[in-house]
């Protein structure tokens, strides 16, 4: 594989369909030949939300609870320092 194709600060990933493979150079060439409105439309690819499993959900909820706890600690420290 060659260098990854970059367009407008975003890396363009070559899409595959079946067993066909589009090289990075081909993807970069196609994107460089698109008109502005075609390019904007092609960049609006909707990516569905990822389904998270139990361990990942537990970790994320733990981080949320930790964040709320630390926000309370910082608020408490600021409040007691101001008195």
Q: Tens digits of per-residue pLDDT, 30-41?
A: 777 878 888 777
User: What is the reported pTM?
Assistant: 0.46
- Residue 16 bridge partners (DSSP): 21
Alpha carbon of residue 81 to chain centroid: 39
Calpha distance 67→71 (Å, rounded)? 6
**Of 33, 14, 11, 15, which is closest to residue 24 (Cα–Cα)?**
14
Domain spans of the chain, in order of start = 5-43, 52-83
Calpha distance 16→57 (Å, rounded)? 30
Backbone φ/ψ region at 9: left (φ over 0), alpha (ψ -120 to 50), beta: left
- Predicted local confidence at residue 8, as pLDDT: 61
């Amino acid at each position: 594989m060659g260098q990854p194709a970059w367009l407008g600060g975003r890396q363009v990933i070559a899409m595959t369909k079946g067993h066909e493979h589009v090289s990075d150079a081909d993807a970069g060439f196609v994107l460089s030949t698109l008109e502005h409105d075609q390019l904007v439309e092609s960049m609006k690819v909707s990516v569905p939300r990822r389904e998270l499993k139990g361990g990942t959900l537990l970790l994320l909820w733990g981080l949320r609870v930790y964040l709320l706890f630390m926000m309370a600690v910082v608020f408490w420290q600021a409040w007691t320092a101001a008195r």
